[in-house]
Amino acid sequence: MKIEGRGTDLSVKRRPLAETVREQISSIILNGELKPGDKLNEMEIAGRLEVSRGPVREAARQLEEMGLLETHAFRGSYVKKFSQREVADIYSLREILESTAALEAVRLATPSDLNAIEVAMRDTETAALSNSRSRMMESDAAFHTALCRAGKNDRITETFKRLATELRLVHLMMSPNPEQLRAAALDHAAILRALRSRNAQHVVDALRSHITGERDVVLQYLAPHGSNTGSSVSPRGVDGPQETRFTGKIIISRHSAKDYPLLARMNRELADDEGHRNPMTVAQMEERFRHFVNKEGWSVDLFKVGDEIVGYATHRRDNDPTNPNRQCVFLKQFYIVRHYRRDNFGKAAFDALAAARFQEGERVVLEVIENNPGGRVFWMRVGFTPYSSMLEYIHQ
């Protein structure tokens, strides 16, 4: 791939050349060739596009402003990777923007606006039927951008278009299955039907259901527990796809001393996935596991599929703080390895743990940190209900 303009007057051509390079790099990222967290190799990109490294650096700076790249001192530029907290914030802003635009669109949308939304909706249906993730991301952004335009507020539309770039990066962090793609297309149809009927409440309800459902799928995918609903983006109706469920057998097995090195590594991944501030090394976590078991009386159970260890949980019985005459189970850690976070595996693992270790009618309590919004979604869908909030203050 060659980009024209090399060797010309830089004072005249540099900015257009940098913009062209920016578009090419953006395409490479949004097509999934570079994944969130991957480093941008300036020399390789410059050679591929047959330009000097100057325009590549300028393009990288612009892409950082757009939210596609993040730069680390002495390390270079990387494709932006979002935490659970950042994803939750993106979807909160998206809900505000689109709900406001949709309410205005009920009043102001023209036949031309509705036609543009329908064209984008048909594209999402085609993408879903062909199981094309890249086409789905493009048509999904086009659908929601057309919806914002129908609200006749240019600031909302432009803000959403910038947000849509970040949303595409978020979608690249996961691998939606065909059922989720079809469910999203069905949601689009429900939103358009409500908009054509000019029913403001139905439009907002359908839109919020779609956005929060998609948010929950992404958060649970990024969470250390994984998804417990494979099709939570589906409309609430009989025509939606059925839930995808893990159908294999999960074996609950007590840990042994030889498992501590693996448990420590999983524990480090658990803390990283939760966005926890824990600075401990793997070696320190291994020693802490030994202390948990030998000094504090925690039980550690492994989740196995065949011979493969795919997660673990730590728990113990102690006095119930709400009733001094009984005990309850404290669930301290619950982790599923990343490639098993799908098809309700997290829910299946918890059900297997409960059947093997907990007594009927027994109270089980746990903490979910604020930096792990996906964990809150997961546990509430498992059946837990909010009881209290733990707040933190660090005295300086």
pLDDT of residue 239: 37
Name residues of the chain where pLDDT drops below 70: 1-16, 175-176, 226-244, 275
pLDDT of residue 1: 54
How far is the CA of 231 from the CAs of 180, 327, 342, 344, in angstroms? 5, 37, 10, 10
Q: What is the distance between the terminal CA atoms of the chain, rounded to a whole angstrom? A: 55
Is the domain 251-382 a CATH 3.40.630.30 member? yes
Closest CA to 267 of 256, 276, 255: 276
pLDDT of residue 304: 95
Contact at 8 Å (CB) between 101 and 147? yes
Helix (H) or strand (E) holding 308: strand 308-320
In angstroms, the CA 36 to CA 18 distance is 22
Contact at 8 Å (CB) between 195 and 203? yes
| Model pLDDT for residues 252-296, shown as the tens digit of each residue | 999 999 999 999 999 988 887 776 777 888 999 999 999 999 999
pLDDT of residue 280: 87
Closest CA to 314 of 324, 303, 326: 303
Structure tokens at 304: 């196995």
Contact at 8 Å (CB) between 40 and 78? yes
Closest CA to 366 of 320, 311, 329: 329
pLDDT of residue 240: 37
The third-level CATH classification (topology) of the domain covering 10-79 is Arc Repressor Mutant, subunit A (1.10.10)
pTM for this model (two decimals): 0.66
In angstroms, the CA 129 to CA 133 distance is 11
Query: Domain boundaries in the chain?
Result: 10-79, 84-222, 251-382
The CATH class of 84-222 is: mainly alpha
pLDDT of residue 144: 97
pLDDT of residue 175: 66
pLDDT of residue 122: 93
How far is the CA of 173 from the CAs of 104, 311, 355, in angstroms? 32, 21, 33
Q: What is the DSSP letter of 327?
A: E
Closest CA to 292 of 325, 324, 330, 320: 330
Residues 6 or more apart in contact with residue 342 via CB below 8 angstroms: 177, 221, 226, 227, 230, 244
Q: 78 in helix, strand or coil?
A: strand
